[in-house]
Amino acid sequence: MNLDEFTIAQLAEDVRFLAERADGANKCSFMDYERDTGVSSNAIVRLAYGGEPPHKHELPSDKQDLMACQRAFNKLPEHRKTVEVRAALDRAWNAITK
């Protein structure tokens, strides 16, 4: 999507999401139920914002990575949860649950 296809409210949601994500990226948490950052989850967020799909080496390697992907997806603004992003999340799940 082009930027002119988004509403001001959607762009404001993007700014809020990205600012919160950036703020959390420099914090360390040993609580697996809180983590939503990492190589695989960052790749899903990258796709949501117009980047390339996750590469094979960016797929989650364990359940904790997978859950970070799911939490990152859950926090995405709704307009960023496109078919392609949902497919990337499905691919992440398949990488761990197959």
Query: pTM of this prediction?
Result: 0.90
Q: Is residue 36 in some structural domain? A: yes
User: How many domains does the structure of the chain reveal?
Assistant: 1
Spatial neighbors of 89 by CB under 8 A, at least 6 apart, are 44, 69, 70, 73
Q: Is residue 21 in some structural domain? A: no
Q: Is residue 16 in some structural domain? A: no
Q: Is residue 52 in some structural domain? A: yes
| Full residue range of the structural domain in which residue 46 is found | 32-98
pLDDT tens digits, 73-93: 999 999 999 999 999 999 999
Q: Is residue 9 in some structural domain? A: no
- What average pLDDT does the segment 46-68 reach? 95
What is the pLDDT confidence band of residue 23, given thresholds at 50, 70 and 90? Answer: confident
Q: Is residue 53 in some structural domain? A: yes
Q: Is residue 57 in some structural domain? A: yes
